[in-house]
Amino acid sequence: MAILVKHQPNCIVYEDDHLLVVNKPAGLNTHAPSPFAGEGIYEWLRHRQPSWATLATIQRLDKETSGIILFSKSTLANKSLTQQFESRKVEKEYLLLTDRSPSALAGRVHTGISRVGDKYIAGPIESADTEAETWFTPAGKTSLGWLIKARPLTGRTHQIRVHAASRGCPLLGDVTYGGTPFGRVCLHAERLRFQHPLSRQPMEFCAPVDFGADVAAPLRTAVIDTQATNAWRVWHAIPDRRPGWFVERWGDWLLSQSERDLTRSQVLELKELGEKWNITGAYHKRWLKSLRNQSFAETSPSLLFCKEGASKESPRPFVITEHDVKFEASFAEGYSVGIFLDQRENRRRFLQNHIAAGFPIRPQGLAGCEVLNTFAYTCGFSVCAALGGAKVTSLDLSKKYLDWGRRNFLLNGLDPSAHDFIFGDVFDWLQRFAKKGRKFEVIILDPPTFSQSKESGIWKAEQDYAKLVQAALPVLASSGILLASTNAATVKPEAFVSLVEATITSAGRKVLKRHYAPQPIDFPMNREQPGYLKTLWLHIS
């Protein structure tokens, strides 16, 4: 039986049978710009839980615009809200910040808007692609500049940004339209008023904003349920404007990673973060491109600072929570910490028996389901599948990690003796299972990019992943689920999907349903730092 996630992400403002109102953070698209470029807020919500599978987009916000966004959950709501927007009965109020004198930006701005390349320009209505109307009202001054309320009566792309720039007041951070560079485009959808599609009662939603806040923090707090999860990627290098620097929260600790030692200002920034969350201390480890021939000391994190009275020795193993599931973690095990945070959302899918909209792992639930977790490491996937009701076989080349996995089972009230833990080479055991006619309804393939064993020799994900899929298919039951994942950065998403599906087809089996899951939102990606984690969920005949 699926475990319903008890809490909702902080971005949810309101929900009923017809509506879902969300406070979208800056830095997150409304829709995914392309199939492999990360999820937009719409895709992330729609695929997150069964009750949101019917979500429809009523309005859109630019990636860098934060604030209230409305989705419909029913045909009635979709029809009613679309009509309200088209007839201009919905009242939208935005808040913007500019560092230019707003003397010319007050009252009504009514122009035509035309697209020129990647931008839009304001001009005469009669010669423009479309017309747009916005009302601006001064709203005070801050240390960063002037606040202005904007009420668009039409809903054209970049309308407020174009109108503000046309009056000599581009938004702070809106370099596209001549604004001063800043950490974000300072535009926020502050308020939304409309009629409920069923009751016709007036509804109003408002969300505050702090334009001076670091964009990375609101992005995480919007999509992570901090009541049930206390481990996530805090800063992800270039997309979070911190090139070469990765920081994670691990319960009461911070873990910093980079290729170099931290500067004094970086340590101070970590201390400020630690004070905000009442963190016990912070560790730092060098980000090594290769772990081969590296000593234990070189791969282990070192203490940066800790609270007064806290031990300065490597902390004993501690427990973190993820969707209310407990996992043991440790900074005293070399490069290993205990669980890969970037697989958080895929583990959640086992808890809910829900891969994506209209795509359960098993329609009848996981009870009695046989799951094989290859390269199990400390059995994070195994724990979540077992909590969902499955019987799990965890297979790994390390006895130490399998023992760690057993402890994770015990932490969550699961009896390890009710499940199988197998020490050995994955390829060897897949061959054994095939000879015995053993079948699994779900198989998890999440291998390291590089490994080596006596039985199979050297493994490299870039060149050997097809062999792994070939070896797994004979033990995957008919109408089974294959989770194929890799963090090999050199493998492009399109190539990975093609490789996995071509291997399945060449084995005489058919893909019945698929869902591609990119890395989670707290691991953002952009052109300078594209995504590395690729996951393909496949229902196979």
Residue 106, both tokens: 């007050």
Of 515, 526, 520, 537, give the one whose Cα is nearest residue 35: 515
> Angle of helix 461-472 relative to helix 493-506, nearest 10 degrees?
30
Residue 164, both tokens: 């503000």
> Angle of helix 380-387 relative to helix 399-411, nearest 10 degrees?
30
- The counts of H helices and E strands in the chain are 12, 27
Cβ atoms of 417 and 346 closer than 8 Å: no
Residue 70's alpha-carbon distances to 159, 262, 530, in angstroms, are 19, 42, 29
Chain mean position to CA 142: 32
DSSP 310-329: S--SPPPPEEEEETTEEEEE
Backbone dihedral angles phi then psi of residue 502, each to the nearest 5 degrees: -65, -35
Catalytic residue (choose from 16, 62, 210, 252): 62
Burial class (CB in 10 A: 0-12, 13-18, 19+), 296: exposed
Backbone dihedral angles phi then psi of residue 476, each to the nearest 5 degrees: -90, 125
Helical H segments across 37-150, by residue range: 41-46, 75-86
How far is the C-alpha of 103 from the C-alpha of 324, rounded, in Å?
A: 52
Cβ atoms of 323 and 348 closer than 8 Å: yes
Burial class (CB in 10 A: 0-12, 13-18, 19+), 428: middle
Residue 365, both tokens: 């639930």
Residue 14, both tokens: 């309101």
Cβ atoms of 347 and 380 closer than 8 Å: yes
Residue 62 designated active-site: yes
Give the catalytic positions in this structure: 62
